[in-house]
Structure 1
Amino acid sequence: MLVFRLWVHCLVLYIISGVACILLYLEFRHIARLRLLHLKRATPNPGQFTVLVRGIPKTKKESCSSAVDDFFTKYHASSYLFHQIVYKTGKVQKIMTGAKKACRKLKNFTDTTVDQSCKAITYRCCLCGASSNSFQLLPTDEVVPSKGKVDLDDSSLNIDNEECAAAFVFFKTRYGALVASDVLQTSNPTKWVTDLAPEPNDVYWSNIWLPYKQLWIRRIATLLGSVVFMLLFLAPVTFINGLSQLDQLQKRLPFLNGILKQPHHLVQLITGYLPSVILQIFLYTVAPIMMLFSTLEGPISHSERKRSACCKVLYFLIWNVFFVNVVSGTVLKQLDFFSSPKDIPVQLAKVIPGQASFFITYVLTSGWASLSSELMQLFGLIYNFIRKYVLRMKEDTEFVPSFPYHTEVPKVLLFGLLGFTCSVLAPLILPFLLVYFFLGYVVYRNQLLNVYRTRYDTGGLYWPIIHNTVIFSLVLTQIICLGVFGLKVSPVAAGFTIPLIIFTLLFNQYCRTRLLPLFSTFPAQHKLWNNSRPGAELYCHLLTGELL
């Protein structure tokens, strides 16, 4: 009877893996077609004709502008149009720019008609309740004239902007820009580095001026910082997981004996709902920190920065929410767990069913509750209330946020991982996940269409992240089932699981070879088709100033 049940589990594993691979391939091919269709029908914009050049060698004999013009005139004469050097604005220049803006506002204020008989207004402060007087307008005859005026436009105050080793180079055709961005310009890969420029609204100007040779150091530093942050987060996660296993925690920490003597409903609250709530509170700090790390890496676009933060948050959630929580809540058991790598599949098969209740509670707190918060825009309401009624600031009606891909995409992928890994060992979680995905489709569709704005188009570049995560979830599920069959001493069923793992990896390699290159570069076929459209070059001439 036991052998028959194991074969049923093996058959179910084959069905889940086969259906997942088929749907994944169909979706991959569909999104690839949508991406090509988007590139084929896209309205021309300056970014499609523009290449960002970094690592421009500086010499004392000529400026960066002259060097760029000479280089592209020599090697890309047939398609090169013109260029624009990126300038690094100093602190003094920023202060002068702010002073000019303030002068314009004051000038507009003095030009308007103001009632000179206005009086002070007394109102209650929102913080302490005490009375506060508003500013009182002084009569014009009491204003002391200044002895001397400083002209901010005076040439003596103007400071030349410093040229950076970066420039936007414009080409006559899309194909010319594509060739220039893909070709290695010199034998030194760190000089004359070319990439297709982002959309005008997508350019992250703060990182454009960063030296290209400095980027690899930044990437290594942010990688080390992310790893250290993930390891430091083990302490709160271990403590939180220990709350769900008070009986085991009591053996290690005898002073907690009084907690188990509390009423039964209080113990259930501590061991059931409280750990996932505390974990969710801690996880709110992850996305801003990962976004900071991604910014320090030096991305040239907002979409690249958010995509990098999405990957970091995803790795963090998979490590801390899944792998750290599937083991025991004590540090000692975690060390025992990782001290024998050969037994990891068996250990996972043992501990995942015991953590099913925690994962179900996590789906309720982080999934269902987050959807309601997303629908109500709770944080936005609190922020606007504080800004308007506490800080007495004018409401910014033009500000519309963009969709937070770096927080929502990792959350959805984590729930997919939980669904795959628990589908065979603890299928009770599947109805909760089904409700979450159904509600999530309705909520996110409404938010994308009616709440958030699209500042830039990513062109489906988040799909490779989703594909790789689903493949990882499938392989992890198969490894766990391999441990289950080994735990139940069924070598035949375990032997049938190994070809399934190999088939999944081969399927992933086929998708990476056949479809993934469409997401890393642009096909020349579609670029040449776009060049034949009437007015493409004229559109480039008209909109080149939009990027600057």
Structure 2
Amino acid sequence: MILSALLTSVGINLGLCVLLFALYSVLRKQPSNIEVYAPRLVAEGKVQRRRDFNLDSLLPTPGWVRNAWQPSEDELLASCGLDAVVFMRIFVFSLRVFSVAGFMGIFILLPINYFGDQISEVDFYDLPNKSLSSFTISNVKDGSSRLWAHFSSAYIITGVVCYLLYYECNHITFKRLELFNASRPQPQDFTVLVRGIPSHSGSSLDDTVHSFFMEYHPSTYLSHVVVHRKNKLRGVMKYAENIYRRFTLLFSRRSSRPDFRDYNKREDVDGRLQQFGLSTQKEVSAAFISFKSLYGASNVLHTQQSVNPIEWVTEQAPEPDDVYWPLFSSSYIGKWISKLLVIVASILLTVLYLLPVAFVQGLTNLYQLKTLLPFLKNVLEISVVSQVITGYLPSLILQLFLSIVPPIMKIFSTIQGYISHSGIEKSACSKMLWFLIWNAFFANVLTGSVTSQLQVFLELKDIPTRLAVAVPAQASFYIAYVVTSWTSLSSELTRVLALLGDWICGCSGCSDEMHVPSISYHSEIPRLLLVALLGLTYFLLAPLILPFILIFFCIGYIIYRNQLLNVYLPKYESRGQFWPIVHNSTIFSLILMQAIAFGIFGLKKLPLASSLLIPLPVFTLLFHDYCRKRFMPIFQTYSAETLIKKDRMDQNDSGMNEFFHKLKSAYNDPSLIPRQHTYDPDDRSAPLLSSLDT
């Protein structure tokens, strides 16, 4: 790719970003769009639907940027939870890293690369037609002493990343402990999920659980709830609820008052369904066990309960609202088979994804396109067309194909049988991340068959050399990919699909119920980490990518703060459990950068630099091991010191008796909880959100 093609891509995406920002600024001020662009604020009663119109609402203004920037981290924590704070810390961490890397790359490494004269001569008058390879390390002459600047930069950026990563780990673990100590008692902290409960003839699971914990944990055991299989009932109740909503909508639009006998019939149907559920439910060998103290629950959680390790298996209970109830229908063997099927399906998805990757790679090669599509030869010779096709289209197509993968990964994680929505998302996040690393990075870099790609990793000693040859060659493609990502980030603001859905429902009158979405961490976090991996990987090889990555994280920082505050409502709180994924991905990116640097210095005939680089990955892995032992256990459990102190504080809390009373029923299946449906005959004439503050 030549520089003018890159500039064409930058111009297209920058124009689209400005357009989307302006469009959002106008659309968000329209009275009819408040439930699309501020559904969270509407649900929380912080805004009121306006019905007045003025000309200023048609003019784009930057006020929303200021509103997104102003809230402090503590305010974001109080409003959105620690998961949202961890998500935004990815942006903060990346901005700090790539500010340092960008300064070094642009003012030190880029000039050295450009004046290297190995593959092109210096000619400022012909700069737009220069290949982007002129700005990479490939342009530095073999054996040049200038390569020591790259060597020094590898050590400096590794130190910077490790220091900032340590700071972030310390900061987030402190926030996690602070949140735990300051929060009111939570059901999930006093509860453990037990699976693999053995069955005894003549005794129900309920009696078995009660007798077991009364015998072995009599001083701390409080109560339990045995899980039942109620998938059919759950579907019936959901269907009945939808029918009720439709009747409510119909009655609200009738000119006459509804017949209250209809509501009595609805309550009678609910009662009959509850009785049906109680009479047909089937016990599953799992139960939520609640305890009188945090320390008691922790002891049970981390102690093997039976001589047989696959019986009385314990794991941390999620929040009651976070429980994914359908999974309990799976047996132990069924879950094992599901995991096997997911592995096979993931491999097949990876293989199938090579087809769009190969297509994208074909678009980046103009000569290959002319050969494959000779009838387009004259069109491809037009300068603007060739620049758009090679500089913009390939990365756009890759972005579109990647957008369909997160829902698939979430389905895979659901099939595996995780016990909570948060567990499903964390698993999908890890799957998505490694899918991106393999398919969006290695599959593009190591073009060829799956066998040839795997062969590279089977021959360990050849990995640095193979990567050193292949990675710099794809620098132009990934620069264009990052630039195209600006538009995909900006499209997050406009919420086009939600806007269209709202307009269609408004015209057809299909529903008056507002949907408040939650952020999809399993798709957003891997996308950010992939860009960070590209930045660290190409820091030495093609520093031209660094300014575009900085712009990416600046745009994302403002956009997602705005969305978290106005649009997304958390549906669960994992207390920062996504951070270990971020930490591990960053360490992997550093090791990858160092391995490529080792190969580059070998190819550039500077063996001394390669030898002196060997301690760097050793230092990185030692740092990772220290952080794994120092910080990562805090994300898995709390120390005895922390739990006992919290228990002693709770002893002086007068509300603990009420909490324990509610805890006994906290994990009841929601499909059997009676619903209260009331109808206010004057509700139809009441103004929308009339009691809410503006």
User: 1:109/1:365 Cα in 2 relative to 1: closer, same or farther (>3 Å)?
Assistant: closer
Aligned counterparts of 1:230 and 1:55: Cα–Cα separation in 2:
34
Name which structure has the greater RCO, CA cutoff 8 Å, separation 6+.
Answer: 2
Aligned counterparts of 1:426 and 1:99: Cα–Cα separation in 2:
56
Aligned counterparts of 1:386 and 1:327: Cα–Cα separation in 2:
45
Aligned counterparts of 1:372 and 1:97: Cα–Cα separation in 2:
39
For 2:517, which of 367, 388, 401 is the aligned residue? Answer: 401
Does residue 1:32 correspond to 2:173, yes or no?
yes
Aligned counterparts of 2:512 and 2:269: Cα–Cα separation in 1:
33
8 Å Cα contact 2:188/2:318 also seen in 1? yes
Aligned counterparts of 2:448 and 2:391: Cα–Cα separation in 1:
14
User: 1:263/1:329 Cα in 2 relative to 1: closer, same or farther (>3 Å)?
Assistant: farther
User: 1:284/1:110 Cα in 2 relative to 1: closer, same or farther (>3 Å)?
Assistant: closer
Aligned counterparts of 2:395 and 2:658: Cα–Cα separation in 1:
54
8 Å Cα contact 1:96/1:152 also seen in 2? no
1:194 match: 314
SS in 1 for 2:185: coil
1:439 match: 555
SS in 2 for 1:233: helix
SS in 2 for 1:307: helix
For 1:286, which of 382, 405, 413 is the aligned residue? Answer: 405
**Higher mean C-alpha deviation, range 63-72 or range 161-170:** 161-170
1:300-347 per-residue CA deviation (whole Å, 9 max, x = no partner) reads 111110011111111111111111112347989869967965433223
Aligned counterparts of 2:551 and 2:444: Cα–Cα separation in 1:
23
**Higher mean C-alpha deviation, range 28-37 or range 342-351:** 342-351
Structure 2 unaligned residues grouped into runs of 5+: 1-140, 259-267, 669-694
User: 1:96/1:422 Cα in 2 relative to 1: closer, same or farther (>3 Å)?
Assistant: closer
Does residue 1:178 correspond to 2:298, yes or no?
yes
Does residue 1:204 correspond to 2:320, yes or no?
no
Does residue 1:222 correspond to 2:342, yes or no?
yes
User: 1:98/1:202 Cα in 2 relative to 1: closer, same or farther (>3 Å)?
Assistant: closer
Aligned counterparts of 1:348 and 1:220: Cα–Cα separation in 2:
31
User: 1:249/1:196 Cα in 2 relative to 1: closer, same or farther (>3 Å)?
Assistant: same
For 1:450, which of 536, 544, 566 is the aligned residue? Answer: 566
Q: CA deviation at 1:7?
A: 1.2
Q: CA deviation at 1:547?
A: 3.0
Aligned counterparts of 1:521 and 1:448: Cα–Cα separation in 2:
27
For 1:538, which of 653, 657, 660 is the aligned residue? Answer: 657
2:89 match: none
User: 1:202/1:254 Cα in 2 relative to 1: closer, same or farther (>3 Å)?
Assistant: closer
Aligned counterparts of 1:405 and 1:80: Cα–Cα separation in 2:
35
Aligned counterparts of 2:339 and 2:641: Cα–Cα separation in 1:
34
Aligned residue identity for 2:661: L
For 1:413, which of 529, 541, 565 is the aligned residue? Answer: 529
SS in 1 for 2:340: helix
Structure 1 unaligned residues grouped into runs of 5+: 119-136, 138-148
Root-mean-square deviation over aligned CA pairs: 3.2
Q: CA deviation at 1:55?
A: 1.1
Aligned counterparts of 2:541 and 2:270: Cα–Cα separation in 1:
75
2:625 match: 509
8 Å Cα contact 2:379/2:385 also seen in 1? no
Percent of aligned positions that are identical: 43
2:609 match: 493
User: 1:539/1:5 Cα in 2 relative to 1: closer, same or farther (>3 Å)?
Assistant: farther
8 Å Cα contact 2:325/2:419 also seen in 1? yes
For 1:13, which of 135, 142, 154 is the aligned residue? Answer: 154
SS in 1 for 2:289: strand
Does residue 1:460 correspond to 2:580, yes or no?
no
User: 1:101/1:263 Cα in 2 relative to 1: closer, same or farther (>3 Å)?
Assistant: closer
SS in 2 for 1:166: strand
Aligned residue identity for 2:465: V
Aligned residue identity for 2:549: L
TM-score (norm 1): 0.86
2:359 match: 239
1:477-521 per-residue CA deviation (whole Å, 9 max, x = no partner) reads 000000110001111100011111111111111111221111112
Q: CA deviation at 1:20?
A: 0.7
8 Å Cα contact 1:13/1:424 also seen in 2? yes
1:123 match: none
**Higher mean C-alpha deviation, range 107-116 or range 177-186:** 107-116
The count of aligned residue pairs is: 515
8 Å Cα contact 1:39/1:526 also seen in 2? no
8 Å Cα contact 1:172/1:540 also seen in 2? no
1:160 match: 280
Aligned counterparts of 2:247 and 2:149: Cα–Cα separation in 1:
80
Q: CA deviation at 1:96?
A: 5.8
2:53 match: none
1:245-267 per-residue CA deviation (whole Å, 9 max, x = no partner) reads 1324666x485773775422212
TM-score (norm 2): 0.69
Aligned counterparts of 1:219 and 1:33: Cα–Cα separation in 2:
35
1:8-39 per-residue CA deviation (whole Å, 9 max, x = no partner) reads 11101000001111111111111111111122
